[in-house]
Amino acid sequence: MKIKDIKINGFGKLENKELKFSKGINVIKGNNESGKSTLLKFISSMFYGVSKNKNGKFIPDYDRYKPWSNAEYSGKISYELDNGEEYEVFREFKKKAPIIYNKAKDDVSNQYQVDKNKESTFFEDQTGVSEEDFLATSVSEQENIKLTDSMKNSVIQKLSNIVTTGNENISYKKAIDKINKSQLENVGSQRSSGRPLNIVEEEIERIENERKEIEEYEDKRYAVEEERETLKVDLADIKTVLDLLRKQKVNLEKSHLEQEKLRMYKDVLEDNRDRKNRIQEKIDALKEEREENLKKNKNGYYIGILAIAAITAISIILKKYILLAINILPILLIISTIISNNKKKSIIKRNGKRIYQERIQLEEEIEKIEEEYKEKEREIERLQNEISQAQKYQEGRLKDEYINKLDEETIDDILSTQYEKIVEFIDEKEREQTEYKITEKTIEVDNETITKKLEELVEMDERLEKLYEQKDELLQLNNMYEIVKEELENSYQEMKENITPDFLEELKNIMIQVTKGKYANLYLDSENNILVEIENGNYAPIELLSIGTIDLIYLALRISAANEISKENMPLILDESLAYYDDERLERILKYLAETTNNQILMFTCTEREISILESNNIEYNIINI
């Protein structure tokens, strides 16, 4: 592949530049800060685009290379592949996709894929070289040439990387170490601790142990459920019995109330009997009073007669004059007695009439009381029958209501129980119901505890399922790591068996020419250490060579790698990378590049040294001044 010409409208400090390149050596000459590195970046950006991401830099390349003036941020590059196909690429850097033209100036942009960043992969599709490989092999910048003792190990590591992997930035050993480290951090192992797999397995073990403890609550749940169901039945029975007792209590209270009314009737009846007795007593008293008056009247009469008779007898015995006085006294006494008796008779008669009238009234009242008594007795008997019938009717209704809820014997016992016992039974059943409810509440609390534990079991199962999924994912990830390491190992072995020998053979040819056979043979031992055969035939680690020789081997390996990674002879871009070579070594490497390689050379320099050597050796070159 050869770059033919470049047109820069605006890129960094470069504006309105048109450059033409030859197929061989092109020397791009310019002072420091003249834009040589910017030109190199323009070439890679035309092929691969310019990144808007920082990628560890202070500012993104997109912002860094924006034109310094108001020039158009765009350009064009023309190139020819080894098979003769020619392309022109126009890129406006503010847009992702470039416009690609073939030799006939047809737009063939749609023939190439677009990656996830919406960047066309046309150049990688054409050459098989990624941007990373292009920069690692075809481009050799001065900043990548390590010239100090303190940086020797870094250069040697890059040499080992090129020999073992084909890329100076990729170390097989470091790749394996990084994979192992990543595998340990992201997965872990049986011997590690605190890693994702260890954490998941420990959590699984912990939850499994807790789960075994909680599984016991499964059996407790069934026992509690059975106890609760039994309790429900018992509570229902108690409730039913209590309902019947309370209804029977109401019935008995109604009967008791009616009995109270009946008792009031009986009290009235008893009052009537007492009134009758009191009236009878009054009648008897009136009779006694009449008889007593009659008796007293008779006694006075008899006493008067006896007094008169006594006085008369005395008068016969005594003298005539005395008798006269004495006779007048009895006569007066008799007269007085007669008058008194008549008065008493009159009083007795009046009293007898009064007593008779009172007795007649009292007897009429007794007769009335007796009639009321008989009426009350009939009313009491009627009420008694009604109360009895009503109670039997209500008891019959209760029996019909509860016959399907309770056994008949229990119903009969309740219905035949006295009121006082009913109250006692209700109190007893209410206490029993309270105790059952307390037990029920206790069971509910136990059941809630069990349910909570079983809910924890469900949560644990869900957690376990997720943990097992995580474990499977980690094991799959671990398996992927193992596959990657296996594939890397296979690739590494294939590299060592197939590509590395070619690298070393190409390196041997370069070293023979640029060192005049001093260091003709390089080898790679089993530990990936590069060994060089020195003049006495012994093998020495490359670390023992001079910095300049190591730099030369480094450049030679990059050239060899560039020829191996692509079917195209990719351009070799040397950005001040030969600046630290002495004149003799510079002459040798330039002769090698001119006489041996088929690669187009773009050599960036700020001195006349390369031009002088090329002219003194009659090597054709194209000079481009920046």
pLDDT level of residue 302 (50, 70, 90 thresholds): low
Distance (Å) of CA 69 to CA 93, 94, 486: 15, 15, 53
**pLDDT above 60: residue 374:** yes
Structure tokens at 606: 């700020």
What pLDDT is recorded for position 16? 93
For the residues of 524-551, what is the DSSP string, one character each?
Answer: E-TT--EEEE-TTS-EEEGGGS-HHHHH
**pLDDT above 50: residue 321:** no
**pLDDT above 70: residue 327:** no
Which amino acid would we find at residue 473? E
Residue 430 pairs in a beta bridge with none
402 CB-near residues (< 8 Å, 6+ apart):
240, 243, 244, 411
**pLDDT above 70: residue 313:** no
**pLDDT above 90: residue 371:** no
Domain boundaries, the chain: 198-415
Q: What is the DSSP letter of 114?
A: B
What pLDDT is recorded for position 364? 72
**pLDDT above 80: residue 73:** yes
**pLDDT above 80: residue 201:** yes
What pLDDT is recorded for position 564? 67
CA distance 78 to 7: 9
What pLDDT is recorded for position 145? 44
Asked if 192 contacts 199 with a C-beta cutoff of 8 angstroms, the reply is: no
Report for 102-116, 281-295, 346-360: range of highest mean pLDDT: 102-116
**pLDDT above 90: residue 544:** no
Structure tokens at 213: 């403890």
Asked if 99 contacts 90 with a C-beta cutoff of 8 angstroms, the reply is: yes
Q: Are strands 99-102 and 139-141 parallel, antiparallel or unpaired?
A: unpaired
Query: What average pLDDT does the segment 267-290 reach?
Result: 72
pLDDT level of residue 586 (50, 70, 90 thresholds): confident
pLDDT of 603-617, one tens digit each?
999 889 999 999 999
pLDDT level of residue 79 (50, 70, 90 thresholds): very high
330 CB-near residues (< 8 Å, 6+ apart):
307, 308, 311, 312, 315
Tell which wins on pLDDT, 281 or 307.
Answer: 281
Query: What average pLDDT does the segment 124-153 reach?
Result: 68
Structure tokens at 560: 């060899």
**pLDDT above 60: residue 147:** no
Q: Measuring CA to CA, which residue among 10, 48, 217 is closest to residue 129? A: 48
Which amino acid would we find at residue 366? I
What pLDDT is recorded for position 469? 92
pLDDT of 328-342, one tens digit each?
655 666 666 666 666
Q: Measuring CA to CA, which residue among 356, 353, 304, 355 is closest to residue 330? A: 304
Structure tokens at 149: 């003792």
**pLDDT above 60: residue 310:** yes
From 159-163, 257-261, 546-550, the region with the lowest mean pLDDT: 159-163
Classify 344 as helix, strand or coil.
Answer: helix
CA distance 389 to 254: 12
Which amino acid would we find at residue 33? E
Report for 368-377, 399-408, 472-481: range of highest mean pLDDT: 472-481
Classify 104 as helix, strand or coil.
Answer: coil
Which amino acid would we find at residue 219? D
pLDDT level of residue 292 (50, 70, 90 thresholds): confident
Query: What average pLDDT does the segment 309-333 reach?
Result: 58
What pLDDT is recorded for position 426? 77
Asked if 36 contacts 19 with a C-beta cutoff of 8 angstroms, the reply is: no
**pLDDT above 60: residue 158:** no
What pLDDT is recorded for position 297? 62
Structure tokens at 270: 């008893």
**What is the percent of the chain where pLDDT is above 70?**
75
CA–CA–CA angle 91, 94, 97 (5° rounding) = 50
For the residues of 126-154, what is the DSSP string, one character each?
Answer: HH---HHHIIIIIEEEGGG---SGGGHHH
Calculate the CA 20 to chain-centre distance.
Answer: 68
From 380-384, 407-411, 620-624, the region with the lowest mean pLDDT: 380-384
CA distance 213 to 374: 86
Query: What average pLDDT does the segment 562-588 reach?
Result: 82
**pLDDT above 60: residue 449:** yes
CA distance 466 to 325: 157
The CATH class that applies to domain 198-415 reads: mainly alpha
From 174-178, 375-379, 571-575, the region with the lowest mean pLDDT: 375-379
pLDDT level of residue 144 (50, 70, 90 thresholds): very low
CA distance 208 to 331: 146
**pLDDT above 90: residue 529:** no
From 93-97, 233-237, 239-243, 611-615, the region with the lowest mean pLDDT: 233-237
**pLDDT above 70: residue 351:** no
Query: What average pLDDT does the segment 316-325 reach?
Result: 54
Q: Measuring CA to CA, which residue among 544, 541, 509 is closest to residue 528? A: 541
Tell which wins on pLDDT, 153 or 575.
Answer: 575
Which position has the token pair 């006349």?
608
Tell which wins on pLDDT, 552 or 608.
Answer: 608
Query: What average pLDDT does the segment 252-269 reach?
Result: 73
**pLDDT above 90: residue 454:** no
**pLDDT above 50: residue 148:** no
From 63-72, 241-250, 434-443, 474-483, the region with the lowest mean pLDDT: 434-443
Calculate the CA 347 to chain-centre distance.
Answer: 119
Structure tokens at 293: 């008056």
Q: What is the DSSP letter of 600?
A: -
Q: Dihedral angle at the C-alpha atoms of 257, 262, 265, 270, nearest 10 degrees?
A: -120
Query: What average pLDDT does the segment 77-93 reach?
Result: 95
Structure tokens at 626: 């920046």
Calculate the CA 6 to chain-centre distance.
Answer: 62
Computed over every residue of the chain, the mean pLDDT equals 78
What pLDDT is recorded for position 151? 41
Tell which wins on pLDDT, 342 or 128.
Answer: 128
The alpha helices in 166-195, defined as continuous H runs, are: 172-186
Note if the pTM is more than 0.85: no
